[in-house]
């Protein structure tokens, strides 16, 4: 029995695909072992979203070869797709597999072991095929990530992903529902819809233009046994009055919406090639807050984008103050070779990026605590996931429908994958809120 060690880099889509590849390997009799152990085969599912991600991908490939120079090192995914030539000449890599070929990993690997080579990196920018993969279990035991689409047509000026993932390709609704039904049967209660740009779901369907993200969510909501549906990152423009009201009318949709912002300044958004204005964004947030009770609105913000002046950053700072997010993921702009932004003039100094990032982090910490304080002395429903020791005491940890982390005293009880309703009493030392039940 051959042993396989793996390391996954990058986003939730990569995690989903890694789970599917491991499932296929196990079904073929391979034994999965930790990455730092000597193994026959090493698989690194790579990322290319930043130059740092490229470097980490190379580091993990070289670490694998160093652990066992005789082992077969397989580079898979986005870094392979965008930097094929560099990976081909890397002495640490034995086998390359690009995107849309991950489903064929076992076949490609076994052919390689028998001395047969085959095409393993396709022209991702000229394919309309959705790479169908289906999970029967996931790395998480209570929450399942469901990939519903791949690719992106947005071409933001700072992003390499359209070149690594190709154009929008949507998964058939019947395949999504079949996977969810199978996972429900094994005990999963919460499902997170993920993809590269899920707001584009269905736009590539030629024979049935009526399918879109909303109709897919409506179909999932009707699946018996589904308790929670959580949406991945959304394009702000998808939030119309109809979209917001329709979601609010579904029983299982969680009031947790990640709307990607990137900047609160219209001129910066234009340089980023983001197709909305701050006013458009705020309109969507207002709609969601009008139909859901205390929904969690989270976002991403990039500071120090090329040409960002103090006045433009101040517009962003004032905008995030106005919105009042539950959480913000704040990134200092990092040049990505091969993108338009990398060669834009007026690159911002790292010291200025650090100051701007710090200013937004201060707002984020304040607003996040304010959002969570709302739940003190209120009843909430929590899906518990794992045990954790906090300040010497054992707690069960889970999340509300708004994805607020909650702790409850373990007291010798088994709460994993249970939905429990109780009252929030206070904050713990690590800022987690505690529930009495």
Q: Locate the domains of the chain by residue range.
A: 3-122, 143-373, 379-436
Helices (H), 28-149: 51-67, 78-82, 84-88, 105-113
Q: Please, which residues bridge with residue 192 across strands?
A: 145, 230
Three-state secondary structure call for residue 370? helix
Do domains 3-122 and 143-373 share one topology? The answer is no
pLDDT at residue 141 in the model = 82
Question: What is the 3-class SS of 173-205, one letter each residue?
Answer: HHHHHHHHHHHHHCCCCEEEEECCCHHHCCCCC
Q: Please, which residues bridge with residue 405 across strands?
A: 399
In angstroms, the CA 118 to CA 196 distance is 27
In angstroms, the CA 167 to CA 161 distance is 10
Residue 37 sits at φ, ψ, to 5 deg, of -95, 160
pLDDT at residue 135 in the model = 96
The segments of the chain whose pLDDT lies below 50 read none
Residue 245 sits at φ, ψ, to 5 deg, of -65, -35
CB 339 within 8 A of CB 313: no
CATH (one of 3.40.50.12160, 1.10.1060.10, 3.30.413.10, 1.10.3720.10) for 3-122: 3.40.50.12160
pTM for the whole structure: 0.95
Q: Could you tell me the CATH superfamily of domain 143-373?
A: tm_1862 like domain (3.80.30.20)
pLDDT at residue 430 in the model = 78
Question: Beta 419-427 vs 433-436: how paired, if at all?
Answer: antiparallel
pLDDT at residue 234 in the model = 98
In angstroms, the CA 212 to CA 202 distance is 5
pLDDT at residue 433 in the model = 93
CA-CA-CA-CA dihedral for 297, 298, 300, 304, to nearest 10? 80
pLDDT at residue 208 in the model = 61
pLDDT at residue 210 in the model = 84
**Token pair for residue 145?**
């990530």
Residue 39 sits at φ, ψ, to 5 deg, of -135, 165
């Amino acid at each position: 029995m051959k042993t396989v060690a793996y390391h996954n880099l990058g986003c939730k889509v990569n995690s989903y695909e890694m789970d599917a590849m491991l499932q296929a390997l196990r079904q073929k009799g391979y034994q999965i072992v930790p990455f730092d152990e000597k193994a026959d085969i090493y698989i690194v599912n790579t990322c290319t979203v930043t130059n740092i991600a490229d470097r980490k991908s190379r580091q993990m490939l070289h670490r694998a070869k160093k652990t066992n120079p005789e082992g077969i090192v397989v580079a898979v995914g986005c870094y392979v797709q965008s930097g094929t030539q560099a990976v081909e000449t890397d002495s640490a890599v034995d086998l390359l597999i690009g995107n849309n070929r991950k489903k064929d990993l076992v076949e490609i690997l076994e052919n390689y072991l028998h001395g047969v080579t085959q095409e393993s990196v396709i022209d991702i920018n000229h394919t309309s095929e959705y790479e169908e993969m289906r999970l029967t279990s996931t790395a998480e035991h209570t929450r399942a990530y469901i990939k519903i689409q791949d690719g992106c047509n947005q071409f933001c000026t700072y992003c390499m992903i359209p070149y690594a993932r190709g154009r929008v390709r949507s998964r058939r609704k019947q395949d999504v529902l079949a996977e969810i039904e199978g996972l429900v049967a094994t005990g999963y209660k919460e499902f997170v819809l993920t993809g590269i740009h899920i707001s584009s779901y269905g736009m590539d369907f030629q024979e049935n233009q009526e399918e879109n993200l909303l109709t897919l969510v409506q179909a999932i909501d009707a699946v018996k046994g589904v308790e929670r549906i959580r949406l991945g990152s959304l394009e702000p423009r998808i939030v119309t009055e109809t979209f917001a009201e329709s979601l609010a009318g579904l029983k299982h949709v969680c009031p947790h919406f990640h709307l990607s912002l990137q900047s609160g300044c219209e001129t910066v958004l234009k340089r980023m090639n983001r197709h909305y204005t701050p006013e458009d964004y705020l309109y969507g947030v207002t709609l969601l807050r009008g139909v859901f009770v205390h929904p969690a609105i989270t976002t991403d913000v990039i500071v120090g984008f090329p040409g960002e002046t103090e006045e433009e950053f101040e517009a962003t700072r004032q905008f995030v103050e106005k919105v009042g997010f539950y959480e913000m993921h704040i990134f200092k702009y990092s040049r990505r070779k091969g993108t338009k932004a990398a060669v834009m003039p007026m690159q911002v100094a790292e010291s200025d990026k650090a100051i701007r990032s710090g200013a937004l982090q201060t707002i984020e910490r304040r607003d996040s605590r304010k959002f969570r304080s709302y739940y003190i002395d209120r009843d909430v429903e929590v899906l518990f996931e794992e045990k954790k020791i906090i300040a010497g005491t054992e707690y069960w940890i889970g999340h509300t429908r708004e994805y607020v982390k909650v702790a409850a005293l373990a007291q010798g009880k088994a709460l994993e994958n249970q939905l429990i309703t109780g009252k929030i009493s206070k904050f713990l030392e690590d800022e987690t809120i505690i529930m009495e039940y």
